[in-house]
């Protein structure tokens, strides 16, 4: 395929957002509950995830279903991590930022599997830039970063990916 | 064997990771508590309100953009870079090519002008009329696809942008889009040609520029009231033809690899 199209229904983002809410809210809650023992925390994570989605919806509404679902997983994970970090701080416990809550299942593709094991921030950046096909500038907007900061994050993510592949015996 | 982490490899891997990540979303749903439902309904309502506000901003910005484009003649833009016809006006700057498409006041009788000639091996595999006024036809072949899109001009005023890496960023909430300075984009070249009785622009998207990586570096984006509603990603090395059919009151967009075949295909419509 040399080209592809992305279309947004003219009825607009509002309807799409409501559809996303209807289709995914309960499933996102089920996902959050896998890692958060408190039902209230899980609901908080989902609410925060939808707030985040609403802020960026004009950029995300055109994503195909698989990419949107992957993005929702990543957002729920990030919100769960925020809550776990907060809980750790409240109880003076250390918190590892590299901690990954939802590692994708292996696919047999060495690079994809290594990418799936990266820390969530790196995974999110790579998913937006290379998985969803956004430009660096657009990725920066979705991550609420400056373009320079997004470029650095992507460079670090690629560096971390290279390291992980080397650790797994690949020559990169 | 040494692996090179180039963009192509990263894209393929990220695509696979995206598929695997999506699998993590459980199929079963958990019921929402009444307090979460209340919060979510509040969010939906707020989103509606924010969107209304945004549309107002976008309309104001669209009016400003229209004014700027209409004043193109007095801006420092090459005269060759502008063309005014009955229902469209084009402006080229160093970062973006923009078409302003004036709405037709009368709807035409249904006209189904389709290419009578299509290159050998091509097969029409997709034909869909979208709610957004864009009809999309895809011709598939082993050597690549050809995409034909038709946008009706009746009743709405739209703008269309030819975007490249240099066209930095999306529109912001106020609908401001990159304007650029006098000049022409470096990442693609435009040639004026004729298709039937109409003036057309042929865009050749370069394969080797400092901006491109390997795919999706160019795009053709359609806006209405400052809000984009349709986007076509174009890979480097592709060619696009754009023309406005004044009788059919439609904008035509044809994208593929072989410029000669595209032109012949477009001419066979008339």
pLDDT digits (tens, 9 = 90+) for A12-60: 666 777 788 888 999 999 999 999 999 999 999 998 888 888 777 777 8
Query: Would you state the structure tokens that stand for residue B226, as one six-digit string?
Result: 């400052």
Q: What pLDDT score does B120 carry?
A: 86
Which has the closest alpha carbon to A52: A22, A26, A17?
Answer: A17
Q: What pLDDT score does A73 carry?
A: 93
Helix (H, G, I), strand (E, B) or coil at A25: helix
Distances (CA, A) of B262 to B93, B134, B147, B218, B250: 25, 19, 10, 18, 18
State the complex-level ipTM: 0.88
Q: What pLDDT score does A5 carry?
A: 22
The pLDDT profile of chain B, 270 residues, written as one tens digit per residue, is 778 888 889 999 999 999 999 999 999 989 888 888 877 776 665 544 555 555 554 555 555 555 544 544 333 344 333 343 456 787 888 778 888 887 766 666 566 778 888 988 888 888 888 777 788 898 988 888 899 999 887 667 788 888 887 775 544 444 456 677 777 888 888 998 888 888 899 999 887 654 443 345 688 888 877 677 787 888 888 899 999 887 777 899 999 988 999 999 998 888
Spell out which residues of chain B touch residue A26, defining contact as CB-CB under 8 Å.
29-32
Residues 145-164 of A with CB under 8 A from B: 147, 158, 161-162
Which has the closest alpha carbon to A46: A31, A60, A34?
Answer: A31
Q: What pLDDT score does B87 carry?
A: 65
Greater confidence (A162 vs B181) lies with A162
**Whether the Cβ atoms of residue A73 and residue B24 lie closer than 8 Å to each other:** yes
d(CA A102, CA A122): 13
Q: What are phi and psi of A31, to 5 degrees?
A: -65, -45
Share of chain A above pLDDT 70, in %: 91
Q: What pLDDT score does A25 carry?
A: 92
Q: What pLDDT score does A6 carry?
A: 28
Please list, residue by residue across B203-215, b when 16 or more beta carbons sit within 10 angstroms of its beta carbon and e when fewer do. bebbeebebbbeb
d(CA B176, CA B62): 8
Distance from CA of A79 to the nearest CA of B (A): 15
Q: What pLDDT score does B113 carry?
A: 76
- Would you call A9 and B132 a contact, using CB atoms and an 8 Å cutoff? yes
Alpha helices (runs of H) in A36-90, residue ranges in sequence order: 39-60, 65-90
Q: Is A27 on the interface with B (CB under 8 A)?
A: yes
d(CA B158, CA B113): 22
Which has the closest alpha carbon to B130: A166, A7, A112?
Answer: A7
- Would you call A70 and B21 a contact, using CB atoms and an 8 Å cutoff? yes
Q: What is the mean pLDDT of chain A?
A: 83
Query: For B25, which of A27, A129, A130 is closest by C-beta distance?
Result: A27
- Would you call A43 and B36 a contact, using CB atoms and an 8 Å cutoff? yes
Q: Is B24 on the interface with A (CB under 8 A)?
A: yes
Which has the closest alpha carbon to B98: B205, B201, B237, B210?
Answer: B201
- Helix B34-70 and helix A39-60: axis angle, to 10°? 20
- Would you call B136 and A5 a contact, using CB atoms and an 8 Å cutoff? yes
The mean pLDDT of A116-136, rounded to a whole number, is: 89
The mean pLDDT of A56-72, rounded to a whole number, is: 83
pTM, 2 dp = 0.49
Query: For B44, which of A21, A29, A116 is closest by C-beta distance?
Result: A21
Q: What pLDDT score does B253 carry?
A: 94
- Would you call B229 and A10 a contact, using CB atoms and an 8 Å cutoff? yes
- Would you call B1 and A18 a contact, using CB atoms and an 8 Å cutoff? no
pLDDT in tens, A133-157: 888 888 888 888 888 888 899 999 9
CA A42 to chain centre: 17
**Whether the Cβ atoms of residue B262 and residue B254 lie closer than 8 Å to each other:** yes
Chain B residue closest in CA terms to A29: B30
The mean pLDDT of A117-142, rounded to a whole number, is: 88
Q: What pLDDT score does A34 carry?
A: 93
Spell out which residues of chain B touch residue A9, defining contact as CB-CB under 8 Å.
130-132
The pLDDT of residue A98 is above 50: yes
């Amino acid at each position: 395929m040399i080209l592809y199209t992305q279309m947004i229904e003219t009825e607009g983002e509002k309807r799409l957002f409501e559809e996303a809410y209807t289709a995914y809210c309960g499933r996102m809650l089920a996902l959050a509950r896998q890692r958060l023992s408190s039902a209230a925390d899980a609901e908080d994570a989902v609410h925060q995830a939808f707030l985040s989605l609403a802020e960026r919806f004009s950029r995300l509404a055109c994503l195909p279903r698989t990419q949107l679902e992957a993005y929702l997983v990543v957002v729920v994970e990030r919100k769960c991590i925020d809550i776990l970090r907060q809980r750790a701080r409240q109880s003076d416990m250390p918190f590892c930022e590299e901690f990954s809550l939802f590692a994708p299942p292996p696919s047999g593709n060495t690079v994809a599997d290594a990418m799936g094991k990266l820390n969530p921030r790196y995974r999110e950046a790579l998913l937006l830039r290379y998985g969803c096909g956004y430009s660096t500038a657009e990725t920066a907007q979705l991550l609420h970063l400056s373009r320079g900061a997004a470029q650095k994050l992507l460079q670090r993510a690629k560096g971390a990916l290279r390291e992980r592949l080397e650790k797994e015996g690949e020559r990169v | 064997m040494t692996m090179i982490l180039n963009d192509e490899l990263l894209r393929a891997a990220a695509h696979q990771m995206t598929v695997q990540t999506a699998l993590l979303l459980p199929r079963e749903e958990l019921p929402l508590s009444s307090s979460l439902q209340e919060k979510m309904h509040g969010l939906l309502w707020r989103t509606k309100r924010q969107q209304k506000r945004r549309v107002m901003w976008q309309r104001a910005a669209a009016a400003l953009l229209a004014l700027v484009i209409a004043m193109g003649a007095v801006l420092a833009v090459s005269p060759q870079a502008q063309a005014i016809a009955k229902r469209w006006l084009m402006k080229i700057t160093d970062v973006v090519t923009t078409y302003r498409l004036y709405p037709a006041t009368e709807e035409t009788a249904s006209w189904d002008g389709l290419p009578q000639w299509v290159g050998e091996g091509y097969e029409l595999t997709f034909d869909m009329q979208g709610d957004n006024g864009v009809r999309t036809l895809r011709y598939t072949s082993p050597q690549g696809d050809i995409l034909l899109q038709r946008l009706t001009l009746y009743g709405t005023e739209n703008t269309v942008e030819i975007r490249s890496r240099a066209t930095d960023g999306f529109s912001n909430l106020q609908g401001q889009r990159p304007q650029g300075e006098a000049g022409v984009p470096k990442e693609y070249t435009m040639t004026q040609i004729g298709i039937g009785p109409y003036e057309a622009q042929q865009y050749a998207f370069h394969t080797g520029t400092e901006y491109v990586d390997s795919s999706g570096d160019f795009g053709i984006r359609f806006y209405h009231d400052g809000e984009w509603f349709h986007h076509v990603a174009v890979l480097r090395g592709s060619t696009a033809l754009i023309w406005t059919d004044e009788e059919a009151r439609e904008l035509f967009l044809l994208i593929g690899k072989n410029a000669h075949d595209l032109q012949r295909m477009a001419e066979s419509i008339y």
